[in-house]
Structure 1
Amino acid sequence: MKMIYVYGDNPEAVAHSTRLALEFRETFGEDILIDMMCFRRWGHNEMDDPTFTNPLMYDVIHARESVPNLYARRLVEEGTLEKAQWEGRWKGLAQAPSAITTWDTGVPVDLLKYIGMKSVEVPPEVTIHPHLQKVLVLDRQKKIEAGTS
């Protein structure tokens, strides 16, 4: 299989490699893999905290400025983008409304809440890591109490 290696800190190279891969696929009808060398600043999902497993590496990563900010600064310095355009990028955007759906499960809500709270209860003789306590216990308890879980 053909591969393109690209450095994720270079947005223009990522875009170019994507166009190249699409053109290759259209021209030759073969698959091509883009291997983007980069890191996830915030982990894989809300449950993953990479500072938990790789604290030293993520100290370095969090000390770096983000790729969008570095790229925007470069575009401003080149004169391609005005600073006001970058600073006003979120104006006019609104948060999508939260859609809460309710279902008739046939089970009383109080029983569901009780089961939910018991499912995250930690026995007193168990010492749980503070991060796991927050993510797996406290956050879920808050959602159950608020009725959003």
Structure 2
Amino acid sequence: MPAAQAQDANNSGHQKGHEAHDMQMTDRCALPMGEGVINALDVKNAKLNLTHKPIEALQWDEMTMDFKVEKIVDLAAFYEGENVHFMLRPAKEESWSIAMMCSLEIDDGAHEACMKAMSEEQARIAAETDESCAGVAPDPGHHAHH
């Protein structure tokens, strides 16, 4: 992303140091989040296929992938072609599963409420087990297996 790199180059070294420190403090146990378009839904088997934008936290380029979806997500509320925000969580049998998902095609208030719930779920998952931190933090380019 040349534009992002150019923007980084314009930041002062002092400010950049603060940003890196703040990121380490706030994102230490953060679960990766992404944005994409749903291509196919399998409500019965709790799976979906989506094309997501690049996910920097995992060093993933834009791609189309299948994901298992956790029970908290009501897949029946979504449709093929819908733009969504989603949060990933390391899974034992799969590389990652979708832990939460919010439509980008609902009114701002509903989207904001969904994103707040996603943030709260992220905090709950991080507090639930230290593994959620260990599974994501060390090397986001590799799948977490325990």
Q: What is the TM-score with the length of structure 1 in the denominator?
A: 0.22
Rg larger in structure: 1
More strand by share: 2
Q: What is the TM-score with the length of structure 2 in the denominator?
A: 0.22
Bigger relative contact order, structure 1 or 2, given CA contacts below 8 A and separation 6+?
Answer: 2
